Chain A
Amino acid sequence: MKSFDLLVIGGGVNGTGIARDAAMRGLSVCLVEKKDFAAGASGANTGMIHGGARYLLHDAKVTKLSCLDSGYIQKIAPHLLFRIPFLVPLLPSGHEMFDKAYAYGVECYFEEYDRYQPLKNGKPHTRLSDAELHELEPGIVEATFGAVTMDEYGIDPFRLCTLNARSAAEHGAEVRTHAQVTRVSPGWLLELNGSETVKATAVFNAAGPWAPKVAALAGFDLRIRPGKGVHVTLDRRLSNYGIICKAIDGRDVFVMPHEDSSIVGTTDDDFYGDPDEVTVSHDEVEYLLTAVERTFPAVRQARVLRAWAGVRPTLFQYGPLEDRLSRDHRIYDHGEGFYSIVGGKLASFRAMAEEAVDVVAARLAKGARCETHRKPLPGGQRAAPAAEELSRRYDVPAFAAARLAYRHGAEAGQVLELADDQPDLRAVCCPCEGVTFAELEFSRTREYAPSLLDLRRRCRLAMGVCQGARCIGPAAGLVGDLQQARDLLDERWKGQRPVLGGDGLAQAELLQGTYFGTGAIGRAEAPWR
């Protein structure tokens, strides 16, 4: 039986972050994830390493930690972060005095936030006039009394988790995806997928919204207040800047550019169901679009590609409205070396992991100092090669080279070297997201991504404007398994279904015609025999 110092449950940003930190400190580590990296809340968020300006008033500790850690994350994964300046348009209330006071209040607020900006290399806020605002974003509703700006960063959260896990493995950790803990026995014997058993001195439960279930397997009671968050993806970068809008109930809703699309989000509602079965309704989509429309009417001109949802593992509190819940994190010591971590933000994952591993290291009286803030993640060692250079050297289209350089940083050349022996791999599989077969093959063989569903998260396969109409068949050719194409079609469809309407219907008709009409997918028998 394999035995480890620490077994980490959950392949989200907390689990992969803890596994990396512990492995770098010299602990023997096993990371197990029932599905895939970032398959839960870590992949269903806004994709931002933000400073948490929103928490300044009630949770300044969260803001400070997020800003501090954002600065570190920029250092260790420079290729993966992209700057998103935000606009906070100020809409008139009809009462001039109130508006003036409001603008003053907003500026004071962001002036306070400016104190944290240097931690994450952010620029201080600026005050824009109405004319300046419309020059930057002509699509914003007329007659504002200007805006305030703030600086934030976006990230590909799927890759962030993957790179943490890969780094953990490079430091000796055993990394297992599609490995679900099915039984926990004292002495910390953990049964995986109902068969094999591994042993660990300490266990860290970082299963996010599934953390209560995992704790229950070990006989511990853990309460969270799960909150469902819905986002929608638009078919283009609708704005140059992130824009902060007010929903009908006064909540902040953002529209922000992300990769080749824009994301609108998010909702925050108590969730009582199974986190494996979270779905989105038409009403939730309308809530978001209506919220943005009031400030940025152009949102209605975009085609909504899909809607998606995740469940936040928020700290348990009885009483406050969802939006007022603390975003702080907490580490629970259940005793006997079994710990859980819940709450927190994507932006502060590294600091949370450090805190978690400090606790384990103290118990085991083992482990060197934390290095995760200094050592780069894979691909972050050097500056990413220039897209033109990659394109010329490896004969791949420049647009695919550019996307590859973003996703893989310094490793981009290594990915394309796979095409030296197999020339077909330089072809582009997913034209929307610029994914070459070489990139798929790299992730398939070196990034724990055996299935197309996993490759979707690694490489943004089928995440673009056609939602897989072009790439799912060719990608199934690479993995040599048509069933995987069906699985990915179902997964993509789940997100399209609540938003199908308008121009999206033409895309759905094309996709359905390609796979179920022309492709006749699923018919394997020979009816004529």
Chain B
Amino acid sequence: MAVDVAVIGSGMAGAAAALSARAAGASVLVLSRGPGASALSSGAADIAADGDAPLLDAMRSLPRPHPYRLLPDPAAALADAAELLRSLGYQGPGDRNLWLLSPLGCPKAAAFAQPFIAAGDLRGLAPDARPAVVALAGSQAIEARLQQQGLRRLFPQAPAEPLRADFYAQRTDALKGIPEMAADIDARRGDLEQALKRLARASGATHLWLPTFGLSPQPLDAGVPVFELPGAPPSVPGLRLQQRIDEALRAAGVARETAVVESLPDAAAVVLATGRFIGGGIRSGAALHETIFALPAYAGERRSLPSLPGEELFAVKASGRHAGLGAGIRVGPDLLAATIGGVPIFAAGAVIGGYDQSRDEGGLGAAALLGAAAGRNAAAAARTRMRASA
């Protein structure tokens, strides 16, 4: 066998599996065809949220068939995830959620976040603070109105409108999206700092939120604390995460291959980390199924059925609970999905069904947590198989 563990997928779940298998001493190959949902992620890593309950309680409150319910020791799994996420530059208290200002101006719970996003934990601001969102240009400046409205609901003394920074001057700057702004900020960080200082002085704002800190974020000195907003897709934090994953896998000595995997990789154990619909791990064609090994997939309690119509899987209201969004394969207690040709296939992340990533049931954080556990289990299984064959 070429390697101990082959991981399919290089998003957060695949990276976590590869890094934890490597840390357990296995040789690891990551096979991936390209970026998936992790590259679109917001910069926050959700594990679970239930009001402001401690993280572990929120995890335990999630009903079956959430894969957390399979974990023999959720506390240990959470600790592993925390370590892994921190190694990828994410920050958070680890035992409770951060409360972040979402791109729509709503408080969003996340266990961890990229540093300048995590710094903007709304809990850390006094109720009489005067926080403000910085408007740079174009669509971002218009969206900032919603964010500022959200801040004002939480902090009544906040300004009514976002604060316009004197950073862009050309009228074509209005056409820039946040990724283009990130590149401009990387190039003109000094100008931005000056503009923010002027803004803070003139407005009396106590805290500022920027749409992005750039592709290579650095602390910004504006005289008041400055935070970064989580990003909606296509997000700058998602691009940074993908870069960070590539670096971490390289540093850990994980082999990489760009490939569309169609058959069983040559490895003692496999981790399937192909994501859900965006990643392409789960598909609904004639039946709901996993795409590489054709494992059956489930939506809620529904078995995979031929031509399952959307109306049966999705609630009437957009905001309702949608069994279809939690579609995925089922796994055993050790995250084992199947054994094919004697090779154990573990699964990690959103390819596992039973949780909806858009509903406080774990998104990027769940991918890290389940990935770390699957990687460790795969390394152990590979070791057992090697020992047996020796």
Please report A residues at the B interface, Cβ cutoff 8 Å: 281-282, 395-397, 419, 423-429, 437, 469, 473-474, 476-478, 480, 482, 485-486, 489-490, 492-494, 496-502, 504-506, 508-510, 512-529
Chain B residues with Cβ below 8 Å from A425 are 174
Whether the pair B278, A509 counts as a contact (CB closer than 8 A) is: yes
When the two chains form their complex, are residues B104 and A428 in contact, meaning their CB atoms are under 8 A apart?
A: no
Asked whether, in the complex, the Cβ of B277 is within 8 Å of the Cβ of A473, the reply is no
If A502-B283, A517-B42, A520-B107 are given as contacts, then 9 extra A-B residue pairs at C-beta distance below 8 Å, sorted by A number, are A395-B171, A395-B174, A477-B146, A512-B322, A513-B358, A518-B232, A520-B109, A521-B102, A527-B99
B142 at the interface (CB under 8 A from A): yes
Contact B318 A482 (CB under 8 A): no
The distance from the CB of A179 to the nearest CB of chain B, in whole angstroms, is 26
A34 to chain B, nearest CB (A): 22
Cβ of A512 and Cβ of B358 under 8 Å apart? yes
Chain A interface main SS type: helix
Pick the contact of B142 from A437, A485, A512, A523 — CB < 8 Å?
A437
Partner of B319, one of A489, A501, A529: A489
Contact A474 B358 (CB under 8 A): no
A427 in complex: contacting residue of B52, B127, B174, B325, CB < 8 Å: B174
User: Counting CB contacts under 8 A, is B149 at the interface?
Assistant: yes
The answer to whether A515 and B104 have CB atoms under 8 Å apart is: yes
* Measured CA separation A384–B180 after assembly (Å): 32
Which residues of the other chain, B, contact A477 by a CB distance below 8 angstroms? 139, 142-146
Answer yes or no: B106 CB below 8 A from chain A CBs: yes
8 contacts between A and B (CB under 8 A): A437-B142, A477-B143, A499-B310, A500-B310, A502-B284, A515-B104, A517-B359, A524-B106
State the CA gap A527–B123 with chains docked (Å).
10
B51 to chain A: which residues have CB within 8 Å? 527
B301 in the interface (beta carbon within 8 A): no
User: Chain A contacts of B325 at CB under 8 A?
Assistant: 508-509, 512
Task: Give the CA-CA distance A140 to B339 in the complex, in Å.
Answer: 44
Residue B122 lies at the interface, judged by CB distance under 8 Å to chain A:
yes
Interface residue ranges, B against A (CB under 8 Å): 37, 40, 42, 44, 46, 51-52, 99, 102-109, 122-123, 127, 137-139, 141-146, 149-150, 153-154, 171-175, 230-233, 276-278, 280, 282-285, 307-311, 313-314, 316-319, 322, 324-325, 327, 356-359, 363
- Pairs A-B, 4 closest by C-beta atoms: A500-B310, A282-B309, A427-B138, A517-B358
Q: Specify which of A499, A518, A525 is in contact with B42 (CB 8 Å cutoff).
A: A518
* CB-based contact A519/B143 at 8 Å: no
Q: Report which residue of A494, A517, A529 has the largest number of chain B beta carbons within 10 angstroms of its beta carbon.
A: A517
A518 touching B174, Cβ below 8 Å: no
A473→B175 contact, CB < 8 A: no
Distance in angstroms between the alpha carbons of A486 and B104 in the assembled complex: 11
B177 CB to closest chain A CB (Å) equals: 9
Q: A426-B171, A498-B311 are in contact. Are A493 and B317 (CB under 8 A)?
A: yes
Q: Tell me whether B122 and A528 are in contact (CB under 8 A).
A: yes
Residues of A near B232 (CB, < 8 A) are: 473, 514, 518-519
Select B104's contact among A480, A482, A510, A528, beta carbons within 8 Å. Answer: A482
Asked if residues B141 and A424 are in contact (CB atoms below 8 Å), the reply is yes
Q: Which of A424, A482, A492, A500 contacts B138 (CB 8 A)?
A: A424
Contacts A477-B144, A486-B319 given: A424-B311 contact, CB under 8 Å? no
With both chains docked as a complex, state the minimum distance between the C-beta of A302 and any C-beta of chain B, in angstroms.
15
Bound: A480/B152 CA distance, A: 13
Of the candidates B105, B122, B175, which one forms a contact with A428 in the assembled complex, judged by CB atoms under 8 Å apart?
B175
Q: Is the CB of A497 within 8 A of B108?
A: no
Q: How far is the CA of A395 from the CA of B173 in the complex (A)?
A: 10
- Please name all residues of chain B whose beta carbon is closer than 8 Å to the beta carbon of A516 when the two chains form the complex: 318-319, 358-359
Q: Which residues of B have CB within 8 Å of A493? A: 314, 317-318
> Which residue among A396, A518, A519 has the maximum number of chain B CB atoms within 10 Å of its CB?
A518
Please indicate the chain A residues that have their CB under 8 angstroms from the CB of B105 in the complex. Answer: 482
Is B149 a contact partner of A480 (Cβ separation < 8 A)?
Answer: yes
Tell me which residues across on chain B come within 8 A of A523, comparing CB atoms: 106-108
Alpha-carbon distance A149/B25, docked complex (angstroms): 70
Contact of B278 among A396, A482, A510 (CB under 8 A): A510
Whether the pair B175, A426 counts as a contact (CB closer than 8 A) is yes
Min CB–CB distance B305 → chain A (angstroms): 12
- State whether B104 touches A500 (Cβ < 8 A): no
Complex: chain B residue closest to A523, CB-CB? B106
- For the complex formed, measure the closest distance between the CB of A467 and the CB atoms of chain B, giving whole angstroms: 10
Give which listed residue, A478, A480, A502, A520, contacts B102 with CB less than 8 A. Answer: A520
Are B143's CB and A497's CB within 8 A?
no
Q: How far, in whole Å, are A474 and B153 apart by their CA atoms in the complex? A: 19
Q: Which residue of B lies closest to A471 (CB)?
A: B139
